[in-house]
């Protein structure tokens, strides 16, 4: 089959100002990996070749940490006819006036600004930053929404970084959340996780593309690398059933991944992502091309 992508989410960098407990990709000030302008030009060229991609998102990590590169990449993407989205924690919005200057180059070029606004991103201070960003975005005509992650049900932690009242988006227990937040969450028997509730592996509609060129169907599950091949070739060759990780997930979810590879496991997990992530960590030495990079699995970090 050929993937018909409408969106490419570019992880401009794995580096971040924060080290949030829920982070899928272990973003932190100590993470490494950032795209260059030449690499971004090539990614945009490849996305254009597909003729199906409508949206380009720039995410991280924190993409505003490499501001001149981000500004130029947005300019290039908008000039190529893509709709553009940004995801940020708005660390730069210390005052509305400052936020206006940070956002001004994106006016008329960005159709969606998503700002993280929850206690994972430093509580009342983050609320103030998000408010400044929202006021500036409104004045500049940039559509803006917020991203918030809710407290894991039953969490026994006294003050884990970034907990919210119920009612927001739930934590998915993968990445740093598998280590930091899963311990006190309610558990279900591993055999119950017979499907992936988060991703449509046959028709995902979008992929994430990281600073090393890896094309992720889900963070940490790679289907190719745009610096060794092309996005068009990767999409054309995509065969989900034949993929060593996606195939088992389609056949019977994370539980089938455990059975297929006879993996060691606990009796219960916080959710399907938790079991899938732990199973993938156990498989990384056997499937390095399909499961990477180290950044997404917290390898080499003092986290």
Parallel, antiparallel or unpaired: strands 214-218 and 206-209: antiparallel
Sheet of 112-116: strand order equals 144-147, 112-116, 83-88, 55-59, 7-11, 206-209, 214-218, 221-225
For the chain, which domains are there? 7-185+205-239 (3.20.20.70)
Yes or no: say if 150 and 168 are a contact pair by the CB < 8 Å rule. yes
Burial grade of 106 (CB within 10 A; 0-12, 13-18, 19 or more): buried
Burial grade of 264 (CB within 10 A; 0-12, 13-18, 19 or more): exposed
Yes or no: say if 149 and 112 are a contact pair by the CB < 8 Å rule. no
Alpha helices in 104-146 (DSSP H): 123-140
pLDDT of the residue at 172: 87
Per-residue pLDDT tens listing for the chain (303 residues): 689 999 999 999 999 998 988 888 999 999 999 999 999 999 999 999 999 999 999 999 999 999 999 999 999 999 999 999 999 999 999 999 999 999 999 999 999 999 987 555 455 677 889 999 999 999 999 999 887 655 455 443 333 333 333 334 578 899 999 999 998 889 999 999 999 998 999 999 999 999 999 999 999 999 999 999 999 999 999 999 999 999 999 999 999 999 999 999 999 999 999 999 999 999 999 999 999 999 999 987 754
Q: List Cβ neighbours of 2 (8 Å cut-off, separation of 6 or more).
A: 235, 236, 238
Neighbours of 14 (CB within 10 A): 26
Residue 58: φ, ψ to 5° = -110, 120
CA distance 231 to 52: 12
* Cross-strand bridge partners of residue 145: 114
Residue 153: φ, ψ to 5° = -60, 130
């Amino acid at each position: 089959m050929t993937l018909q992508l409408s969106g490419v989410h570019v992880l401009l960098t794995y580096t971040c100002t924060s080290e949030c407990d829920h982070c899928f990709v272990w973003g932190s000030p100590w993470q490494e990996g950032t795209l260059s302008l030449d690499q971004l030009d090539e990614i945009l060229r490849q996305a254009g070749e597909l003729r199906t991609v409508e949206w380009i998102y720039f995410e991280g990590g924190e993409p505003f940490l490499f501001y001149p590169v981000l500004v130029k990449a947005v300019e290039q993407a908008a000039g190529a006819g893509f709709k553009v989205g940004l995801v940020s924690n708005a660390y730069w919005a210390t005052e509305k006036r400052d936020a206006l200057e940070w956002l001004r180059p994106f006016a008329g070029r960005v159709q969606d600004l998503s700002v993280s606004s929850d206690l994972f991103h430093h509580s009342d201070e983050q609320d103030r930053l998000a408010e400044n960003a929202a006021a500036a975005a409104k004045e500049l005509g940039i559509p803006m929404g917020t991203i918030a992650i809710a407290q894991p049900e039953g969490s026994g932690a006294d003050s884990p970084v970034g907990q919210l009242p119920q009612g927001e988006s739930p934590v998915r227990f993968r990445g740093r959340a598998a280590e930091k937040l899963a311990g006190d969450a309610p558990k279900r028997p591993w055999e119950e996780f017979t499907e992936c509730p988060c991703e449509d592996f046959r028709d995902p509609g979008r992929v994430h593309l990281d600073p090393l060129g890896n094309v992720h169907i889900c963070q940490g599950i790679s289907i190719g690398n745009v610096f060794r091949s092309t996005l068009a070739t990767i999409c054309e060759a995509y065969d989900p059933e034949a993929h060593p990780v996606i195939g088992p997930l389609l056949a019977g979810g994370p539980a089938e991944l455990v059975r297929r590879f006879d993996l060691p496991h606990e009796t219960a997990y916080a959710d399907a992502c938790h079991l899938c992530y732990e199973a993938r960590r156990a498989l990384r030495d056997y499937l390095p091309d399909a499961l990477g990079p180290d950044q997404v699995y917290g390898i080499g970090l003092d986290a």
